[in-house]
């Protein structure tokens, strides 16, 4: 009984003369920005032309030929390594084709058994400090709330300065 939301019709495409008018306005804005940037560039004293290295066609062709030769040598080397170590590079078998012989059997203790933990008492004077430290770690995303019966042990190392968090 949940009807689909009605799709709004797409806005009409602007007419050609409207598109031309928008383009002219954008062109004027771009021209103004370009003139401002050129004016700022001349004021800063950076009006020397940028040096561009000439393009050497023969060197580019030579580099590409070397690249192709190296690629061919690497391909031959790959074939040689794969042929020497065929056992390693064989495709992985499908799960149905894997052997099902039992090689080793690991007997587990009761999997339902919970891990016993021992908690140590913390001095009452550190209660507020613990809350501040835990909140800081929660806010930073280092830790998150958990309902797990197992927890990572933590402890406080008191500092010499009593105004600093331990």
Residue 70, pLDDT score: 95
The token duo for 159 is: 């500092």
In this prediction, residue 72 carries a pLDDT of 93
Q: What is the pLDDT of residue 77?
A: 95
> What is the reported pLDDT for 151?
67
- Residue 6 inside a domain? The answer is no
- Full domain range(s) for residue 29: 14-45
Q: Look at the chain and report how many structural domains it folds into.
A: 3
Examine residue 115 and state whether it is found in any structural domain, yes or no: no
Does 40 share its domain with 64?
Answer: no
Q: 160 and 127, same structural domain?
A: yes
What pLDDT shows up at residue 160? 81
Return the pLDDT at 52: 75
Q: Identify the pLDDT of residue 49.
A: 67
User: Does residue 163 share a domain with residue 141?
Assistant: yes
Kindly state whether residue 8 falls inside one of the protein's structural domains: no
Angle at 51 between CA 49 and CA 52, to 5 degrees: 130
pLDDT tens, residue order, the chain (166 aa):
566 667 777 778 888 888 999 999 999 999 999 888 887 777 776 666 677 778 888 999 999 999 999 999 999 999 999 999 988 888 777 767 777 776 777 777 777 777 777 777 777 887 888 888 888 888 988 888 877 766 677 777 777 887 777 6
- Residue 107 in any domain: the answer is no
Interacting residues of 158 by C-beta distance below 8 A, sequence separation 6+:
166
40 and 18 part of one domain? yes
Give the Å distances, CA to CA, from 42 to 31, 38, 39, 49: 17, 6, 5, 11
Same domain, 131 and 163: yes
- 75 falls within a domain: yes
Q: Which residues neighbour 155 within 8 Å (Cβ) at sequence distance 6 or greater?
A: 120
């Amino acid at each position: 009984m949940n009807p689909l939301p009605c799709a709004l019709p797409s806005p009409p495409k602007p007419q050609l003369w409207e598109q031309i008018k928008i383009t002219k306005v954008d062109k004027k804005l771009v021209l103004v920005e370009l003139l401002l940037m050129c004016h700022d560039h001349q004021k800063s004293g950076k009006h020397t032309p940028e040096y561009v290295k000439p393009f050497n066609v023969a060197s580019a062709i030579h580099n590409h030929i070397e690249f192709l030769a190296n690629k061919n040598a690497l391909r031959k080397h790959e074939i040689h390594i794969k042929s020497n170590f065929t056992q390693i590079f064989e495709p992985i078998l499908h799960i149905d084709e894997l052997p099902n012989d039992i090689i080793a059997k690991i007997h587990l203790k009761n999997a339902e058994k919970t891990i016993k933990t021992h908690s140590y008492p913390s001095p009452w004077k550190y209660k507020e400090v613990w809350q501040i430290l835990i909140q800081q770690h929660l806010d930073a995303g280092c830790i998150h709330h958990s309902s797990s019966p197992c927890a990572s042990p933590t402890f406080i190392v008191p500092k010499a300065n009593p105004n600093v968090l331990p």
